[in-house]
Amino acid sequence: AANKKLLFLPGDGIGPEVMRQVRRVIDWMDRKRKITFDVSEGLVGGAAIDAHGVPLSDATLAEALAVDAVMLGAVGGPKWDNPTDYTKRPEAGLLALRKELGLFANLRPAVVFDALVDASTLKPDVIRGLDILIVRELTGGVYFGEPRGITDIGNGERRGVNTQVYTTSEIRRVARVAFELARKRGNKLCSMEKANVMESGLLWRQEVTKLHQEEFQDVELSHMYADNGAMQLLKNPKQFDVIVTDNLFGDILSDEAAMMTGSLGMLPSASLGAPDANGNRKALYEPVHGSAPDIAGRDLANPCATLLSFAMCLRYSFNLDEDAKLIERAIQNVLGGGMRTADIMAPGMARCSTTVMGDSILREL
């Protein structure tokens, strides 16, 4: 069989330095586990704008479409901020990847690591042991809806328009992923929208309800308005198992949930497409945190979120659950031993660099 094909897109800011630690784990897998990846590397975001004038070149996109999975670092930074041309933003590269690869299901776990329970601004008993999964729709809604744009409407006035739009099949396919994941976990799904205000949310609620009736009656389904969801996440996050929501609400609510864990530098994500005839799906894996330009290039960043994203990659794209668990356990043990990058540093712990964190995880492996 051909080797497993990976495309590395380190991107901007701390992207390259955290991705370097994934390279080291890949070398370890090659040597010790006899699992070999063909790794190619490309540019995305600001780095691609600097090199090619666009945040995602056609060649890189073609490469992304050809590989088994994409590993992404992070995109964006002040250097490329505030361009008025929407196609020339670092973010446009990431959005194009999501759309062109059809990555409609974005899995964002919000997990509290025992060793980090005090890092949160929430009280320890509220979040200890928290393990929820947010499934965010990623290729639809107001992110891609047409018409969109800014137009002059006379008298010195302008109008800015975006369109929130969802169809039956867009809703069903992401809800299906969420129901299936719930079945493998706590068997509970909560769907969030603003059906009380938006027709697109009402359609969302109706279609999720219908799919539940048709195929997933064994899963416990509830619905919540997204504003109430933002409150309930804070009030009692452990009431949730899997949450499914649209692109924009998912952006906000998953960031809220991530920050609640206090472990932002620890959280991975997976973005998945539809399975093909052989059950293979396009996929992209990236840390939930951003490019953190303020600490970029200083060997300060926490590589764990990216390494855990690689663990998700092993699990979802290559069915290597055992190897995924090895990485996850190695990270837990290193944390348990007191190693901390700056973002999760706490009194009595040992502060370390990106590289030393990588060293420790490799030693543990």
Q: Residue ranges for the binding site?
A: 98, 108, 136, 227, 251, 255, 290-302
Nearest approach, Cβ of residue 267 and ligand IPM (Å): 11
Q: For residue 274, what are the contacts with CB-CB under 8 A and spacing of at least 6? A: 102, 104, 173, 281
* Per CB under 6 A, 313 contacts ligand IPM: no
CB of 305 or CB of 326, closer to ligand IPM:
305
- Which residue reads 């729709």 in tokens? 137
* 123 a catalytic residue: no
Catalytic residue among 241, 251, 323, 343: 251
Instruction: Give the C-alpha separation, 354 to 82, whole Å.
Output: 30
* 194 a catalytic residue: yes
CB of 259 or CB of 356, closer to a second copy:
259
Instruction: Give the C-alpha separation, 353 to 303, whole Å.
Output: 9
Closest CA to 177 of 108, 101, 110: 108
Pick one of 36, 87, 196, 239: the residue that binds ligand IPM (CB under 6 A): 196
* Site residues (CB under 6 A) for ligand IPM, limited to 49-78: none
* Per CB under 8 A, 126 contacts a second copy: yes
Nearest approach, Cβ of residue 95 and ligand IPM (Å): 6
Instruction: Give the C-alpha separation, 265 to 106, whole Å.
Output: 18
Compute how many other C-beta atoms are within 10 angstroms of the C-beta atom of residue 346.
12
71 contacts 287 by C-beta, under 8 angstroms: no
Instruction: Give the C-alpha separation, 307 to 315, whole Å.
Output: 13
Catalytic residue among 4, 12, 68, 143: 143
Question: From residue 248 to residue 267, what is the string marking binding to a second copy with x (rule CB under 8 A)?
Answer: xx-xxx-xx-xxx---x---
* Both structure tokens of 35: 């699992």
Burial class (CB in 10 A: 0-12, 13-18, 19+), 353: middle
* Both structure tokens of 123: 């009280």
Instruction: Give the C-alpha separation, 65 to 242, whole Å.
Output: 29
Nearest approach, Cβ of residue 34 and a second copy (Å): 41
* Per CB under 6 A, 246 contacts ligand IPM: no
Pick one of 51, 66, 150, 197: the residue that binds ligand IPM (CB under 6 A): 197
If you write DSSP's letter for every residue of 17-33 in order, what string do you get? HHHHHHHHHHHHHHHHS
Nearest approach, Cβ of residue 32 and ligand IPM (Å): 33
* Per CB under 6 A, 87 contacts ligand IPM: no
| Residue 94 interacting entry, from ligand IPM, a second copy, none, C-beta within 5 to 8 Å by type | ligand IPM
Instruction: Give the C-alpha separation, 199 to 170, whole Å.
Output: 15
Closest CA to 251 of 121, 141, 89, 102: 141
* 81 a catalytic residue: no
Cross-strand pairs, 108: 134
CB of 168 or CB of 196, closer to ligand IPM:
196
If you write DSSP's letter for every residue of 273-307 in order, what string do you get? ----TTS---EEEEESS---GGGTTTT-S--HHHH
Question: From residue 93 to residue 112, what is the string marking binding to a second copy with x (rule CB under 8 A)?
Answer: --x-----------------
Nearest approach, Cβ of residue 63 and ligand IPM (Å): 21
Interface with ligand IPM (CB under 6 A), residue total 7
* Per CB under 6 A, 167 contacts ligand IPM: no
Binding site residues, a second copy, CB under 8 A: 76, 84, 86, 89, 91, 95, 121-123, 126, 142-143, 145, 148-150, 153, 156-169, 194, 196-204, 207, 226-228, 230-231, 234-236, 248-249, 251-253, 255-256, 258-260, 264
Binding site residues, ligand IPM, CB under 6 A: 91, 94-95, 196-197, 227, 251
